């Protein structure tokens, strides 16, 4: 079945007692059992049952099944935020003395998580230029626990050659972990690109209009975790990978960043409308990027489908349809960026991505404001760039709004 049909018709694991056509919100904490033997079996994981809502919840489980249907993954774990998905992944595979080989072009908190949070526990992050395959290969050693990058870097709009990087990583037994928040499953096949683990902030495309925070870890079951020093000694679990089993049975219970059932309900509805929203938003983003790339006051437009993008070929190869609802617009100075932004009337000044509303932000002065000039240089952040996240408004209204703001410069 095709993408939306498959997600809309994701089966309930058990039929609903009242025949509800939508999976209900189970907003309870505890689940009771008829006998002590049964509750013991549930705690041991010998029967598929929910015991306590920090560990699992039927509404959250249903949401995970929708992601599984969308991605074709072996297993999916939903968590409270995108940052929880990233932190749980590395809290599971990293160890003191290990290193992560990563692109330096990272979401601000991911950068800070690697450098400050994990850094304090003796984990080293080795930043590499992901356009340079030799540099990636040279950075890997026997203590590398994973390779990490974002699918399209934000706000630089760069794409690494994931299929080629995958070949290097496979030869060296290193898992490829990619933050794919910027392109959802209806337009990108992560497994085909060689990705072993996807981390996604479902706050963005999935939530369905910025209703809630959430994150998922998507495991394609493609990596042999006996090659990871921390997971090598654990017994082989049934049906899931060592990685997913360790998160479910230990890491998420201990860290406690469980997805809330109300969120799972909203984001399940978000999943059902995902393809329709994505296609509309990314089409409008492409049209705006194309239109304003010729505007005399615009220095540069960053969008990977434009002929001017050095990543156009990869973008066409990896993504079906338009490559997402985010584009960047560069002007001559920070002052011009502020004047332009303050004159926008339809577009809102806010952070976040893939809301139904179109948003604009000046990343250097906001998302990266706590970075030192040196860190900004490493992360590739400059102050003449504005990031747009295109929503569901009509193209003409957005075009006219951006055009009138450019006229004031
Ligand atoms: C927003 C975002 C995150 C963090 O997600 P939260 O849900 O806000 O924790 C991580 N990576 C990327 C690419 C993002 O856009």
Measured in residues, the chain has a length of 409
Sequence-distant (≥ 6) Cβ neighbours of residue 206 within 8 angstroms: 67, 184, 200, 214, 216, 267, 270, 271, 274
Could you give the percent of the chain with pLDDT greater than 90?
A: 92
Rounded to the nearest whole angstrom, what is the distance from the C-alpha of residue 382 to the centroid of ligand 1? Answer: 20
The closest-lying atom of ligand 1 relative to the alpha carbon of residue 154 is 13
Angle of the 261-272 helix axis to the 274-292 helix axis, nearest 10: 70
Strands (E), 137-175: 144-150
Ligand 1 pocket, mutate which of 106, 203, 267, 352 (most atoms under 8 A from CB): 203
Rounded to the nearest whole angstrom, what is the distance from the C-alpha of residue 82 to the centroid of ligand 1? Answer: 5
Torsional sign, CA 9, 180, 155, 349: positive
Task: Say if CB 321 and CB 377 are below 8 A apart.
Answer: no
Ligand 1 pocket, mutate which of 149, 181, 359 (most atoms under 8 A from CB): 181
Rounded to the nearest whole angstrom, what is the distance from the C-alpha of residue 104 to the centroid of ligand 1? Answer: 16
337: left (phi over 0), alpha (psi -120 to 50) or beta: alpha
Pairwise CA distance, residues 228 & 146, whole Å: 9
Under DSSP, the state recorded for 103 is -
Rounded to the nearest whole angstrom, what is the distance from the C-alpha of residue 107 to the centroid of ligand 1? Answer: 7
Task: Say if CB 220 and CB 185 are below 8 A apart.
Answer: no
Pairwise CA distance, residues 195 & 147, whole Å: 10
Averaged pLDDT for residues 344-367: 96
pLDDT for 54: 96
Pairwise CA distance, residues 126 & 100, whole Å: 6
Rounded to the nearest whole angstrom, what is the distance from the C-alpha of residue 28 to the centroid of ligand 1? Answer: 28
| pLDDT per position as a tens digit, 303-333 | 999 999 999 999 999 999 999 999 999 999 9
Rounded to the nearest whole angstrom, what is the distance from the C-alpha of residue 79 to the centroid of ligand 1? Answer: 12
Rounded to the nearest whole angstrom, what is the distance from the C-alpha of residue 99 to the centroid of ligand 1? Answer: 22
The residue whose CA has the least distance to atom 4 of ligand 1 is 82
Q: Does the pLDDT value for residue 380 go beyond 90?
A: no
Pairwise CA distance, residues 336 & 406, whole Å: 9
pLDDT averaged over the chain?
Answer: 96
| pLDDT per position as a tens digit, 165-217 | 999 999 999 999 999 999 999 999 999 999 999 999 999 999 999 999 999 99
Pairwise CA distance, residues 96 & 89, whole Å: 15
Task: Say if CB 149 and CB 103 are below 8 A apart.
Answer: yes
The closest-lying atom of ligand 1 relative to the alpha carbon of residue 85 is 9
Q: Does the pLDDT value for residue 1 go beyond 90?
A: no
The residue whose CA has the least distance to atom 13 of ligand 1 is 181
pLDDT for 3: 95
The residue whose CA has the least distance to atom 7 of ligand 1 is 82
User: DSSP string covering 237-283, please?
Assistant: PSSS-HHHHHIIIIIHHHH--BPPHHHHHHHHHHHHTHHHHHHHHHH
The residue whose CA has the least distance to atom 15 of ligand 1 is 181
Model-level pTM? 0.96
The closest-lying atom of ligand 1 relative to the alpha carbon of residue 182 is 13
Pairwise CA distance, residues 123 & 219, whole Å: 23
| pLDDT per position as a tens digit, 95-128 | 999 999 999 999 989 999 999 999 999 999 999 9
């Amino acid at each position: 079945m095709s993408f939306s049909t498959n997600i809309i018709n994701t089966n309930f694991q058990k039929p609903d007692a009242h025949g509800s056509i939508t999976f209900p919100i189970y907003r309870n904490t505890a689940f009771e059992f008829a006998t002590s033997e049964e509750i013991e079996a549930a705690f041991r994981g010998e029967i598929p049952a929910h015991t306590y809502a920090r560990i699992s919840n039927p509404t959250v489980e249903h949401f995970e099944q929708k992601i599984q249907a969308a991605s074709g993954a072996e297993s999916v774990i939903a968590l409270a935020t995108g940052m929880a998905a990233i932190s749980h992944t590395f809290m599971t595979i990293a160890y003191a003395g290990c290193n992560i080989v990563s692109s330096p072009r990272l979401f601000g908190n991911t950068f800070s998580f690697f450098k400050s949070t994990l850094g304090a526990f003796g984990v080293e992050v080795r930043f590499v230029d992901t356009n340079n395959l030799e540099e990636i290969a040279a950075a890997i050693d026997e203590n590398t626990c994973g390779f990490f990058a974002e699918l399209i870097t934000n706000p630089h709009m760069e794409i690494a050659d994931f299929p080629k990087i995958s070949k290097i990583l496979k030869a060296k037994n290193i898992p490829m972990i990619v933050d794919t928040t910027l392109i959802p499953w209806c337009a990108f096949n992560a497994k085909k690109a060689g990705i072993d683990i996807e981390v996604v902030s479902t706050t963005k495309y999935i939530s369905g209009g910025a209703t809630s925070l959430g994150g998922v870890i998507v495991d394609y079951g493609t990596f042999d975790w006996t090659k990871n020093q921390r997971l090598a000694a654990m017994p082989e679990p049934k049906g899931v990978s060592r990685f997913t089993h360790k998160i479910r049975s230990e890491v998420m219970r201990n860290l406690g960043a469980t997805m809330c059932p109300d969120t799972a309900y909203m984001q399940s509805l978000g999943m059902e409308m995902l393809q329709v929203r994505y296609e509309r938003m990314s089409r409008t983003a492409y049209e705006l990027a194309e239109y304003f790339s010729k505007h005399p006051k615009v220095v540069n437009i960053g969008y990977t489908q434009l002929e001017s993008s050095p990543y156009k070929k990869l973008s066409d190869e990896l993504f079906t349809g338009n490559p997402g609802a985010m584009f960047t617009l560069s002007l001559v100075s920070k002052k011009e960026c502020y004047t332009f932004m303050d004159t926008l009337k339809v577009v809102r000044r806010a952070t976040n991505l893939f809301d139904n509303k179109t948003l604009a932000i000046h990343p250097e002065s906001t998302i990266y404001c706590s970075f030192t000039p040196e860190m900004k240089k490493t992360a590739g952040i400059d102050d003449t760039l504005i990031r747009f996240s295109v929503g569901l408004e009509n193209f003409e209204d957005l075009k006219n709004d951006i055009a009138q703001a450019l006229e004031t410069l």
